[in-house]
Amino acid sequence: MKTTKLAVILSVVFWNGLAFSNEISVTQSLDKSEVAYDGTAQLQVTLTWKGSQFAYLFDKPLSPVTDRLKIREFSTSLSTTGTGADEVTTKIFRFTLVPTSSGIGKIQPITVSYLKWPDSIPGVLTTEELSLGIGERKSVEKSGSIPTTAIVFSVLGFMAMLAGVFLVMRHRSRQNAIPQISPKEIFLERLSRLKADSGGDFGKFQSGLYHLLGEFVAVRYTVRPEGMSEEDLAGGLNSAGMTYSTAQKIAKWYVAAREDRFRPLQPEPGALVRLETDIRVTMEKM
């Protein structure tokens, strides 16, 4: 008699915007199907799994690829309900989308990579493509005359501006000007000093960079990065006013520097110089 061996294959299935496995699932939603050209839409990606908050590790930030849309803000939240075998954890990613042109906006499928602890088993979930109707851009109407109310407010505004300039000039004349050094200028000066003091030692440079970046985001953006993942730090900086692309770079450098302090390093030739230059250029553009 022949024995049939059954192979159980863990698969990811899509159905009505839901991707799920045996233990972890992902859903996505838009808060509207159409948006005005000057409006905003909210994209939400939700991960749900059985177990504690530490059952899964997400080592790569979510970066939705869009057409006719761009990401203006990003935030995350994490919550757990139940205890023991009934414990369920939910992680939510929220993206604020703004139109860049009229038509049908597209949000490409989003890939979510994860590691299951403590076995470090990798896995991938993928969402479906979403569409969003974008209204026509409103043209500025031309008028043959300027309303009297607009003229009055313009005159009052000009007078208020002159009064403000007068008060500022008067205040400055009564005290000596004290030069102010911005957190960015302090960071760049200390970055140059760190590069010189490290003497080409990449590990020493990374150890110092970890503290420099941590102090900079804490002072400039009131974000405490200690213990934060790369994606959470990028989201926090973006919510505090930093552009999303710059926030991703800062978060990547900070997390890499934090990890490099405790592991042997064999960097490529010129890695320290390239990294310092990339950080400097990015900071100078902020």
Per residue in 90-124, pLDDT (tens digit) is: 999 999 999 999 999 999 999 998 888 777 788 88
**How far apart are alpha carbons 205 and 259 in whole angstroms?**
13
Does residue 76 form part of some domain? yes
Q: What is the pLDDT of residues 192-245, one digit of tens each?
A: 999 999 998 998 999 999 999 999 999 999 999 998 999 999 999 999 999 999
Task: Provide the domain limits for residue 125.
Answer: 13-134
Q: Is the pLDDT at 63 greater than 50, yes or no? A: yes
Of residues 12 and 61, the one with the higher pLDDT is 61
Does residue 274 form part of some domain? yes
Residue whose C-alpha is closest to residue 92's, from 29, 145, 37:
29
- Verify that 109 and 215 share a domain, yes or no: no
Helices 230-239 and 202-221: crossing angle, nearest 10°?
A: 40
Phi, psi of 227 (to 5 degrees): 80, -5
Of residues 180 and 286, the one with the higher pLDDT is 286
Does residue 151 form part of some domain? no
Domain boundary (134, 168, 202) is at: 134
Kindly report the pTM of this predicted structure.
0.49
Half-sphere exposure of 100 (CA within 13 A, CB side): 10
Domain boundary (134, 164, 194) is at: 134
Does residue 173 form part of some domain? no
CA angle centred on 90, ends 89 and 91, rounded to 5°: 125
Residue whose C-alpha is closest to residue 92's, from 110, 82, 109, 79:
79
Q: Provide DSSP, 48-114.
A: EEES-TTSEE--S-----EESEEEEEEEEEEEEES-GGG-EEEEEEEEEEEESSSEEEEEPPPEEEE
For strand 130-134 and strand 34-35, is the pairing parallel, antiparallel, or unpaired?
Answer: parallel
CATH code of the domain covering residue 130: 2.60.40
> Domains in the chain: how many in total?
2
Mean pLDDT of the chain: 83
Enclosing H/E stretch for 157:
helix 148-173
Does residue 127 form part of some domain? yes
- Verify that 107 and 195 share a domain, yes or no: no
